[in-house]
């Protein structure tokens, strides 16, 4: 008689079976337990007084504690909060260095091109309009998120850059520092007609006069004024480079320092940085860059953002601004040259109108020699086929460079760079 005994599996087989059972259990748990949601840009339904009729969007990195800084970001014309958030590069440093973002958003109900009304006195006066709405968003963040009220900053592009200057002037008690990208000096204009003049040509004011405009924005204020960084493309024909110099004059005067730089440095992307006073004011001048906020896609520490219309691939402005604001946890160190960019495509609404051209007469542009430069009134440019009008505004044919109101009183120089392709060339003809 043969007695049979149960055969024991080897220890290795037992261990493998146990491991498989554990993994199966974990997999089952994963299938029934939803993953944790990552932080995202979220609209805030109600944030308090809103006389400027703006929408509020906010981004808070996961597990952000109270007592952290806040950066307010202001988009350009025809942009929105989500497009600016996606392309500007600020999210990278909010996650990395731990601070919140608030992105106010305007609409066509306020301005036909969804621009912040940086030129309307009702929106650029302390306690009124859009400026008061943005201030209310900051107060909401301080009360609700526990934001450090001593570390609040503002940055913006184009009309948003001009509105950034508005916030720095009207609420110097709220903002510790700010940056203005392709923007304009505070109270350069107080009407739509004046706004067009500021955009396309220099305004004749002394640094003292520019500074007085800021000081009068909050009469009786005796505290410190914010530090300011200015970003200006040297081939910008939408907000001409003279505006960068005027911002420099305004804020150096307000800060009480000379208009002569104390240091000049060369950075990546054809950027020249001029520093004024004890890093009171910075002026970044970018050779060959047109209208936009500079980004520099890539994985290096000083690279950020995504290229898109009016987000040119030159240098990561968010990185330099975040360090200028002291958001990296240290003092405001001197910038150093950074790595070459690695382009990354993205899609976002453009910050300048791109209207469909209205029919215009057959032009003489085809008979104009390539490279020719023509100065004329907007109406004459349109009838000659070098430009077109849409909604009462004029745009260069081909490039869509905005030229202001469609009338005979506003003149510009246009240069032909290709068949039926014209660009603004004021100051170059």
Helices (H), 287-404: 317-324, 378-383
Give how far Cα 81 sits from Cα of 178, 307, 388, 425, Å: 18, 16, 29, 31
Give how far Cα 152 sits from Cα of 93, 124, 142, 194, 316, Å: 15, 19, 9, 31, 21
Nearest to 164 by CA among 239, 91, 237: 239
Catalytic residue among 158, 196, 317, 399: 158
What the block records as the tokens of 408 is 């005979």
Q: Are 347 and 335 in contact (CB under 8 A)?
A: no
What the block records as the tokens of 306 is 């995504």
Nearest to 171 by CA among 131, 115, 208: 131
Q: For residue 193, give the 3-state DSSP assignment.
A: helix
Residue 86 has what DSSP assignment?
H
Tokens 């007085």: give the residue: 212
- What is the DSSP code string of 366-388? GGSPTT-EEEEEHHHHHHTTSEE
Catalytic residue flag (residue 346): no
Half-sphere exposure of 411 (CA within 13 A, CB side): 9
Give how far Cα 3 sits from Cα of 6, 7, 295, Å: 10, 12, 81
What the block records as the tokens of 212 is 């007085």
Tokens 């299938």: give the residue: 31
What the block records as the tokens of 59 is 């981004």
Q: Are β-strands 411-418 and 373-377 bridged in parallel, bridged antiparallel, or unpaired?
A: antiparallel
Helical axes 317-324 vs 90-97, angle rounded to 10°: 40
End-to-end Cα spacing for the chain: 114
What the block records as the tokens of 181 is 């990208």
Q: Give the sign of the dihedral formed by CA 115, CA 313, CA 327, CA 219.
A: negative
Q: Please state, in angstroms and rounded to a whole number, the distance separating the CA atoms of residues 410 and 408.
A: 6
Active-site residue set:
158
């Amino acid at each position: 008689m043969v007695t049979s005994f149960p055969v024991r599996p080897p220890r290795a087989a037992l261990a493998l079976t146990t491991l498989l059972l554990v993994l199966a259990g974990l997999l089952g748990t994963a299938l029934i337990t939803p993953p944790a949601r990552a932080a995202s840009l979220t609209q805030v339904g109600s944030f308090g007084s809103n006389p400027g009729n703006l929408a509020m969007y906010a981004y808070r990195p996961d597990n952000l504690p109270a007592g952290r800084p806040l950066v307010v970001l202001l988009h350009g014309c025809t942009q929105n909060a989500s497009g600016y958030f996606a392309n500007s590069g600020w999210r990278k440093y909010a996650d990395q260095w731990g601070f919140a973002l608030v992105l106010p958003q305007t609409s066509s109900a306020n301005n036909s091109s969804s621009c912040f009304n940086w030129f309307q006195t009702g929106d650029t006066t302390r306690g009124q309009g859009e400026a008061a709405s943005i201030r209310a968003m900051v107060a909401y963040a301080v009360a609700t998120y526990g934001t450090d009220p001593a570390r609040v900053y503002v940055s913006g592009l184009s009309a948003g850059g001009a509105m950034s200057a508005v916030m720095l002037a009207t609420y110097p008690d709220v903002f510790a520092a700010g940056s203005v990208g392709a923007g304009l000096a505070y109270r350069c204009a107080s009407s739509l007609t004046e706004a067009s003049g500021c955009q396309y040509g220099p305004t004749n004011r002394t640094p003292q006069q520019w500074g007085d405009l800021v000081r009068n924005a909050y009469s009786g204020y005796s505290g410190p004024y914010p530090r300011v960084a200015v970003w200006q493309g040297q081939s910008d024909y939408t907000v001409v480079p003279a505006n960068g110099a005027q911002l420099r004059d305004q804020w150096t005067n307000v800060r009480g320092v000379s208009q002569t730089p104390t240091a000049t440095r060369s950075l990546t992307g054809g950027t020249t940085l001029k520093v004024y006073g004890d890093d009171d004011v910075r002026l970044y001048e970018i050779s060959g860059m047109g209208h936009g906020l500079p980004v520099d896609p890539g994985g290096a520490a000083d690279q950020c953002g995504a290229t898109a219309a009016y987000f040119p691939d030159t240098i990561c402005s968010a990185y330099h601004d975040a360090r200028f604001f002291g958001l990296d946890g240290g003092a405001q160190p001197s910038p150093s040259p950074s790595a070459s960019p690695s382009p990354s495509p993205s899609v976002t609404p453009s910050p300048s109108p791109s209207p469909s051209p209205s029919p215009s007469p057959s032009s003489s542009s085809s008979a104009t020699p390539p490279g020719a430069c023509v100065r004329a009134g907007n109406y004459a440019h349109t009838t000659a086929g070098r430009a077109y009008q849409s909604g009462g505004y004029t745009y260069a044919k081909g490039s869509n460079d905005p030229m202001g109101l469609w009338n005979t009183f506003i003149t510009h120089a246009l240069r032909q760079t290709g068949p039926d392709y014209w660009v603004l060339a004021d100051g170059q003809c």
